[in-house]
Amino acid sequence: MTILDRFRVDGRTAIVTGASSGLGVAFAQALAEAGADVALGARRAERLGSTRELVEAAGRRAIAVPTDVSVPEDCDRLVQEAIEAFGKVDILVNNAGVGTARPALKETPEEFRAVIDVDLTGSFILAKAALPLLARAEHPALIFVSSLAGIRGRPGAAHLCAAKAGVIGLARSLAMDLYPHGIRVNAIAPGPVQDVERGEPSPLPPGAPADVGISRPADVANVALFLAS
Ligand code: NAP
Task: Report the pLDDT value the prediction gives residue 72, as an integer from 0 to 100.
Answer: 98
Task: Report the pLDDT value the prediction gives residue 3, as an integer from 0 to 100.
Answer: 73
Determine if ligand 1 sits within 6 Å of the CB of residue 118. yes
- DSSP per-residue letters across the chain: --GGGG---TT-EEEEESTTSHHHHHHHHHHHHTT-EEEEEES-HHHHHHHHHHHHHTT--EEEEE--TTSHHHHHHHHHHHHHHHS---EEEE---------GGG--HHHHHHHIIIIIIIHHHHHHHHHHHHTTSSS-EEEEE--THHHH--TT-HHHHHHHHHHHHHHHHHHHHHGGGT-EEEEE----B--GGG-SSPPPPTT--TTS-PBPHHHHHHHHHHHH-
pLDDT tens sequence across 16-64: 999 999 999 999 999 999 999 999 999 999 999 999 999 999 999 999 9
Determine if ligand 1 sits within 6 Å of the CB of residue 216. no
Task: Report the pLDDT value the prediction gives residue 42, as an integer from 0 to 100.
Answer: 98
Spacing, Cα 98 to ligand 1 middle (Å): 6
Task: Report the pLDDT value the prediction gives residue 10, as an integer from 0 to 100.
Answer: 97
Determine if ligand 1 sits within 6 Å of the CB of residue 18. yes
Give the pLDDT band of residue 208 (cuts 50, 70, 90).
low
Give the pLDDT band of residue 6 (cuts 50, 70, 90).
confident
Determine if ligand 1 sits within 6 Å of the CB of residue 140. no
Q: Is the pLDDT of residue 201 over 60?
A: no
**What is the reported pTM?**
0.96
Residue nearest to atom 25 of ligand 1 (CA): 22
Determine if ligand 1 sits within 6 Å of the CB of residue 58. no
Spacing, Cα 121 to ligand 1 middle (Å): 14
Q: Is the pLDDT of residue 134 over 80?
A: yes
CA distance 88 to 196: 32
Q: What is the mean pLDDT of the chain?
A: 94
